[in-house]
Structure 1
Amino acid sequence: MSSGIAYPRPRRSVLYMPAANARALEKARSIDADALIFDLEDAVAPDAKESAREGACAAASSGEYGYRELTIRCNGLDTPWGRDDIAAAGAAAPSAVVIPKVSGAADLAAVAGLLEAAGAPESTRIWAMIETPAGIANAREIASFDRTDAVVMGTNDMAKELRATITPDRAALVPHLATCLVAAREAGVSALDGVYNDIRDADGFAVVCRQGANLGFDGKTLIHPSQVEPCNEAFSPSLDELDFHRRVMEALEVAVAEGRGVVTVDGKMVQNLHVDEARRAIALADAIEQR
């Protein structure tokens, strides 16, 4: 049973790939991530920045990555490489450029101007990384900027800038993650949780994935292919959840036909907000299947 509504592209798993590593770029063609970030920033040494830029732009425009949404993380405008990164990425026309340490709308306006000058199509959007106190304080204007399509949590830098400790429950970061999430929901853009650093800790990774999903994030940024499958599972509606949501939709149709405004499913009273959630979950499942 379809929800009858469209759902944006799934962004459950968003994998950083070092653009200086040709083998990694090739491997990414077969990784089941919803989106890829070809990284020109943290994962690339200064003497490899230019060759990484060429590799990322060639990959983004190659047409060889199937359903995967392709983005390029540029260096900041306060670096020697930022302007050239954005100009080259704009010409390559990925789905988005990912911009680190965004402080406010003025940063995004500068990026948008460079994209326009490079002839980037309107379909090339901006994913704004929020990872500083200024970014958190200005989350609302960042998320509502007209070219923003997603806000991305930079949790490592966020913790450093806040002088916070990342504990297993991320208690010190949750208020700030929630602030950014609220801004994204108000603006109608995607919200992506930050990375998990210990690729050997599968149990800890599962906990933070579930936490992010419970908070309401659309997906999570990842640093290793082994994190993709459990991340996809955490940010997808389960079979049991889909079964319940479909029965909610069916019960609603019966109730409307009978002129009733109250629906009971599994002994629980269902209101309009539950119907909206059912439609959203089914639409997401449909979008994942069509991917």
Structure 2
Amino acid sequence: MEAAVTLAPRSLLFVPAIRPSMIAKAAGLAADLIVLDLEDSVRDGDKAAAREALPVSLELLHGRCAAVRINAPDTIYFADDVAMIGSAGVALAVVPKVQSPDDLAPLAGYPVLAMIETPEGVLAAARIAATPGVVGLMVGTNDLAASLRLPPGAGRASMSHALQAVVLAARAAGGWAIDGVYNALNDAAGFSRECSEGRMLGFDGKSLIHPDQVAIANTAFSPSAAEVADANAIITAARGGAERFQDRMIEDMHVEMARRVLQRAR
């Protein structure tokens, strides 16, 4: 994985690439990254129209940081989507259902956020993360739960090994780790809890399917005021090597962690 040159997004909002009104609304939201979607939110009969409309859809974002999710490598739409992103000047391709580095070969030269959504993808996550051009991994929790044959209501605990594997693979390669979507649109409290859990697992941010989720995700994946204060205090107090700080021991590793906190806070 190529080292991400920017901070990982806290919030990635999926918007159907064929819905101009939704795209225009998304342009005014505080999502760190808007993802114009050609996959799940676009019906088969509308795929070609959504692809052809992409240059106009990108213009509706008025220069906002944006990516495009193309269709999966094993679909009939993949080749046309890959050809399209070159001509449309897409800055980042989100690729669903990546199961091996070979799936990304047609995208050589493009920055890619690879979605891990199958057992095969989880087991190959480290190799996928190390593929040139890949800047991060995103776990697709809905498809992953289905491919693992989890019973309804099984919950994220049943996927804990897979979630951790995605984070480990992303971290080992130096790139982003993005958590999956939350389906209950009217459950703000549950969404907030899942964001907090995702951050505790090591994810940088979360993929979103509704504008109301943006502010919650941005807050959850940002350092709290207490974390910022503690980070500043550590950096001020540190003199190098292991030493006592307040009621705990710190060393250079903790200073580096504190600097990352302040970088994210800014």
TM bucket (normalised to shorter chain) is: over 0.9
Conserved 8 A contact 2:20-2:57: no
SS in 1 for 2:53: helix
Shift of 1:64: 4.0
Q: Does 1:104 find its partner at 2:84?
A: no
**Equivalent residue number for residue 174 of structure 2:** 188
The answer as to 2:68 corresponding to 1:88 is: no
Secondary structure of the 2:156 match is: coil
Change (3 A) 1:131 1:202: same
- The answer to whether the 8 A contact 1:247-1:265 is kept is no
Partner of 1:198: 184
Q: 1 CA distance for matches of 2:154 and 2:220?
A: 17
- Are 2:199 and 1:213 equivalent residues in the alignment? yes
1:154-201 deviation digits (Å, cap 9, x = unpaired): 100000000124758611111101011101101111110000000101
- Give the count of matched residue pairs: 263
> 1:166, 1:93 → 2: CA distance?
40
Q: Quick one: which amino acid aligns to residue 99 of structure 1?
A: V
Distance of 2:244 and 2:44 partners within structure 1: 61
Query: What TM-score results when the alignment is normalised by the length of structure 2?
Result: 0.93
Residue 251 (structure 2) pairs with residue 271 (structure 1): yes
**1:172 counterpart SS class:** helix
Amino acid at match of 1:246: N
For 1:212 and 1:105, how far apart are their aligned partners in 2?
26
* Superposition RMSD in Å: 1.9
Structure 2: distance between partners of 1:7 and 1:268: 33
Pairing 1:76–2:68 present = no
Greater CA drift, 50-59 or 218-227: 50-59
Partner of 2:214: 228
Unaligned runs of 5+ in 2: none
Q: In 1, distance between residues paired with 2:260 and 2:153? A: 32
Aligned partners of 1:168 and 1:237: how far apart in 2? 30
* Structure 2 match to 1:49: 47
CA-CA distance at 1:57 after TM superposition: 3.3
One-letter amino acid matched to 2:144: M
Structure 1 residue 133 corresponds to structure 2 residue 119: yes
- Output the amino acid matched with 1:164: L
**Structure 1 counterpart of 2:189, which letter?**
D
Classify the secondary structure of the residue corresponding to 2:36: strand
Q: Which residue of 1 aligns with 2:261?
A: 281
How far did residue 95 of structure 1 move?
Answer: 2.3
Contact residue 100 and residue 128 of structure 2 kept, 8 A: yes
Residue identity in the other structure for 2:185: I
- Structure 1 stretches of 5 or more lacking a match? 1-5, 113-121, 287-291
Q: How far did residue 147 of structure 1 move? A: 1.0
**Are positions 1:246 and 2:226 aligned together?**
no
Shift of residue 52, structure 1, vs aligned partner = 1.1
SS at match of 1:229: helix
1:117 corresponding residue in structure 2:
none
SS at match of 2:98: coil
CA distance in 2, matches of 1:240, 1:168: 34
Note closer, same or farther for the CA distance 1:44–1:167 as it changes in structure 2 (3 Å cut). Answer: same
TM-score (norm 1): 0.85
CA–CA distance in structure 2, aligned partners of residues 283 and 268 of structure 1: 23
In 1, the alpha carbon distance for the partners of 2:199 and 2:135 equals 19
